[in-house]
Each structure stands twice: as structure tokens, then as C-alpha cells.
Chains A and B, each alone.
Chain A
Amino acid sequence: QQPVQSPQAVILREGEDAVINCSSSKALYSVHWYRQKHGEAPVFLMILLKGGEQKGHEKISASFNEKKQQSSLYLTASQLSYSGTYFCGLLTLEAGGTSYGKLTFGQGTILTVHP
């Protein structure tokens, strides 16, 4: 089942902050965040693992609430280069762990940063 991202779109001025949310109806093993610019491939930003381990971009932070099955991506002091579509991808916990490797992506959040 596809995770739900919100908001669908956000417009910022340089220097402003934004939060993008991602929620799931299934128990999560990990949450992955990617940014895709028009005509380019998605670029890895951050991964948050069950149990609290995080790894990713130094200027972007994120949280992972295992109980609520939610994750939020925090973009602070936005720059023009932050513009793009942000996707969360979820690895869910399923019987036997057979979902490992099957990333299910949200519909994306379009972020536009203006000067």
C-alpha cells in the first residue's frame, strides 16, 4: 500500500523552512527519502532505520516515529538547489521479511524555492 505524503506541493522563499510528512498503514522497517529534479534520477537523501539509526545528507534532517508509522523530512534554511520532488520510500515489516528490498514510494511532494 502506497505511503501518503503531505503536503502535495509547497512553495518557499530562500531561507525558509519546510516539513514534508510521510505516513504508512503498515509497520515499518525503514524510511528512505529521495529528491528528484526534473529530467533526472532520484537522489538519495536519508535513510532512517527501525531502532533509531540514521544516515544521510548533513544539511537535511528527518524523524521516524515507529509507533505512529510516520516520518518527517525537515528542510531548514532552504536554498534554490532544494527545489525538486521529494519522495519517501518505505520498507515494511511483513511476515518472513519478504518485503525487504521492496521500496514502496509515496506520490511525491513538489518543493519550489524562489529567490
Chain B
Amino acid sequence: KAGVTQTPRYLIKTRGQQVTLSCSPISGHRSVSWYQQTPGQGLQFLFEYFSETQRNKGNFPGRFSGRQFSNSRSEMNVSTLELGDSALYLCASSFSARYEQYFGPGTRLTVT
């Protein structure tokens, strides 16, 4: 069974730009969650989607948004990038949000 895939793996952007990250979950998984990981703040929950609906959202500004498609693939968008947005962005999929989540390799975003 193929694992969770994320594209791109690495990104370098300039302050003020926007970025879109993509996540393809494990086949059959309908729940996709996004996390931001930084050395200072650890793993922080961004949002969770299930069947194209956002069911939960973390404490991040509105510049962070996402969506999920009918095939369960998900995208995350960050607009007006700030230096503090530099982080590893991880997505995780699960059969149902209440059960174990499987993480993708992450997208390393660097904002200069």
C-alpha cells in the first residue's frame, strides 16, 4: 500500500508570496490533517478535512487555508508569507480522524 505523499518536498519563497502544498493520502483514507513543525513550537495542528469538509481548525491566522477534493487529496495554501512561516509542513491521513494517523514526508518551506 503506498504511503502518504507530499509535493513539493522543498520550497523557497520570498516574503509576501503565496504557496500551495499538496498531499495525497493513503488509498481509502478520507481524513487528512495538516501540521506545522518548527523547532520552537513543535508539532502544531493546522486543520483537518474529512470528505471535503473542514471539521477542525487550529489557532493559525486566516492566511492559512486548505481544501480537500473528492478523491481525498488535499491542498494547503499560505498567503502573504512571513519569515515565521518557515517550517516543515506535514500532512497525515487516517481512515477516520479518531484513529491512527500516517504522516507524509513533509514539505520544507523556507521563507526569505
A residues whose Cβ falls under 8 Å from a Cβ of B:
2, 29-30, 32, 34, 40-44, 47, 49, 55-56, 87, 89, 91, 98-108
Contact = CB atoms under 8 A, between A and B. Distances in A.
A71 to B, nearest CB: 14
B28 interface: no
9 contacts: A32-B100, A44-B101, A89-B43, A100-B98, A101-B98, A102-B45, A102-B56, A105-B42, A108-B42
Given A103-B45, A107-B42, A98 B56 contact: yes
Interface size class of B (residues with CB under 8 A): 20 to 34
Contacts of A49: 98
B92 to A, nearest CB: 8
A99 B55 CA distance: 9
Interface stretch (B11-19, B72-80, B102-110): B102-110
B42 A103 contact: no
A99 B56 contact: yes
Interface in B30-60: 31, 33, 35, 42-45, 48, 50, 55-56, 58
Contacts of B101: 32, 44, 89, 103
- Main secondary structure, interface of B, reads strand
A101 B33 contact: yes
A82 B69 CA distance: 37
Contacts of B35: 105
Contact of B99 (A47, A87, A104, A105): A47
A20 to B, nearest CB: 15
Given A30-B98, A42-B103, A101-B50, 11 more contacts: A2-B42, A41-B105, A41-B106, A44-B101, A55-B100, A99-B56, A101-B55, A101-B98, A102-B45, A105-B42, A105-B43
Nearest to A103: B45
Interface string B64-101: 00000000000000000000000000100000011111
Given A87-B43, A101-B50, A102-B56, A41 B100 contact: no
